[in-house]
Amino acid sequence: MGRQLFDMVTARRLVLDLLKPYDPDVVTTAEAVADIDGVDGVNVVLAENEEEVQNVKMTVEGDPIRVEAVYETIEDLGAAVHSIDEAACGERLVEQSKTPQD
């Protein structure tokens, strides 16, 4: 397997930039990840429809999210994680703080 494994890594929120085939659709993709044990909910928004694939942003929240299970489910759907745009871990969900450097 070329991809990095996440073993026991867990999170409270993940924001993943995904490239997915048109089939299955966005709802089926969101529901599949939402069904993973420990996931409270999933939000997927369409960023861009390209010729062969869709670029979507997936926000996953849970307590705890088992990151490896999320990756496996995404791969089973034929999609790929382009980048991890946000990860939040710990006893409570902490939001990013905006500073003048942003």
Closest C-alpha among 56, 9, 49, 4 to residue 29: 56
CB of 9 to a copy of itself, least distance (A): 5
Report the residue number, 67 or 79, with the smaller CB distance to a copy of itself: 67
Query: Toward a copy of itself, which CB reaches closer, 25 or 75?
Result: 25
**Contact, 43 vs 52, CB < 8 A?**
no
CA atoms within 13 A on the CB side of 70: 30
Q: Which residues bind a copy of itself (CB under 8 A)?
A: 4, 6, 9-15, 17, 23, 25-31, 33-34, 39-47, 49, 57, 59-61, 67, 83-97, 99-102
Q: How far is the CB of 34 from a copy of itself (least distance, A)?
A: 4
